[in-house]
Chain A
Amino acid sequence: MSRIIGWLWGRLPIGWLQLMHNKTRLIAAVGGVTFANVLIFMQLGFMNALFETSVFSHRSFDADIVLVSSDFRSLREANPLPRSRMYQALAVPGVHYATPVYIGTRFWTDTSTGDTTNFRVTGVDPNADVFDDKDLSAKARQLRLPDTAIVDQRTRDFNANIQATLQSGRSVNVEIGGRSISFVSLFDQGASFDVDGSLIVSDQTFFALFPNRRPGTPTLVLLKIDDPSQAAEITEHINQHLAHGDVKAMTKQAFIEAEQSYQATQTPIGFVFGFGVGIGIVVGLVIVYQVLSTDVQDHLSEYATFKAIGYPPRFFFGVVLEEALSLAALGFIPGLVICLVLYELAAAKTGLPITMPWTRPLFVFCLTAAMCTLSGVIATRRLNAADPAELF
Chain B
Amino acid sequence: MASEFAIETKQLCHTFGTGAAGVRVLHNVDLNIKRGEVVILMGPSGSGKTTVLTLVGCLRSVQEGSVKLLGTELNGASDETLMRMRHRIGFIFQAHNLHKSLTATQNVQMGLQIHGRQANRNWREACRHMLELVGLGDRVDFMPDQLSGGQKQRVAVARSLVGNPEVVFADEPTAALDKESGHRVVSLLRRLADERQTTIFMVTHDHRVLDYADRIIKMEDGRVVEEKSILFPGMESANH
Taking Cβ atoms with an 8 Å cutoff, the residues of A that contact B are: 10-12, 14, 17-18, 20-21, 299, 301-302, 304-312, 387-390, 392
- In whole angstroms, how far apart are the Cα atoms of A301 and B159 in the complex? 15
- In whole angstroms, how far apart are the Cα atoms of A14 and B100 in the complex? 10
- In whole angstroms, how far apart are the Cα atoms of A387 and B62 in the complex? 11
- 1/0 per residue, CB under 8 A from A, across B92-131: the answer is 0101011111100010011101100100100000000000
| B183 proximal to A (CB < 8 A) | no
Q: Determine how close the nearest CB of chain B comes to the CB of A380; give it in whole angstroms.
A: 15
Binding-face segment, B38-46, B52-60, B200-208 = B52-60
Q: Top 9 nearest A-B pairs by Cβ distance?
A: A310-B86, A21-B101, A389-B59, A305-B97, A389-B60, A389-B54, A310-B87, A17-B101, A388-B59
- In whole angstroms, how far apart are the Cα atoms of A390 and B85 in the complex? 18
B59 CB contacts on chain A under 8 angstroms: 308, 387-389
* 16 other A-B residue contacts (CB within 8 Å) besides A21-B101, A299-B99, A308-B93: A11-B113, A14-B102, A17-B101, A18-B99, A301-B95, A302-B97, A302-B99, A305-B93, A305-B99, A309-B87, A310-B83, A310-B85, A310-B87, A311-B114, A388-B60, A389-B60
- In whole angstroms, how far apart are the Cα atoms of A309 and B106 in the complex? 15
- In whole angstroms, how far apart are the Cα atoms of A307 and B54 in the complex? 13
Knowing A310-B86, A389-B54 are in contact, say whether A301-B97 is a contact too (CB < 8 A): yes
Knowing A309-B91, A310-B114, A388-B59 are in contact, say whether A304-B106 is a contact too (CB < 8 A): no
- Selected from A18, A299, A306, A388, the residue in CB contact (under 8 A) with B110 is A306
A-B contact pairs, 18 of them (CB 8 A): A12-B106, A12-B110, A12-B113, A20-B101, A301-B97, A302-B99, A304-B97, A305-B97, A307-B86, A308-B57, A308-B91, A309-B159, A309-B160, A310-B84, A388-B54, A389-B54, A389-B59, A392-B95
Main secondary structure of the interface of A (DSSP, over half): helix
Taking Cβ atoms with an 8 Å cutoff, the residues of B that contact A are: 54, 57-61, 83-87, 91, 93, 95, 97-102, 106, 109-111, 113-114, 117, 120, 159-160, 163
Q: Determine how close the nearest CB of chain A comes to the CB of B123; give it in whole angstroms.
A: 10
- In whole angstroms, how far apart are the Cα atoms of A21 and B102 in the complex? 9
- In whole angstroms, how far apart are the Cα atoms of A389 and B95 in the complex? 12
What's the count of A-B pairs with C-beta under 8 Å?
A: 69
Knowing A299-B99, A305-B93, A310-B83 are in contact, say whether A387-B113 is a contact too (CB < 8 A): no
- Selected from B93, B113, B159, the residue in CB contact (under 8 A) with A392 is B93
Q: Decide if A21 touches B100 in the complex (CB within 8 Å).
A: yes
- Selected from B58, B98, B160, the residue in CB contact (under 8 A) with A302 is B98
Q: Decide if A309 touches B114 in the complex (CB within 8 Å).
A: yes
- Selected from A11, A17, A21, A308, the residue in CB contact (under 8 A) with B86 is A308
- In whole angstroms, how far apart are the Cα atoms of A302 and B107 in the complex? 10
- In whole angstroms, how far apart are the Cα atoms of A101 and B65 in the complex? 90
Q: Determine how close the nearest CB of chain A comes to the CB of B149; give it in whole angstroms.
A: 15
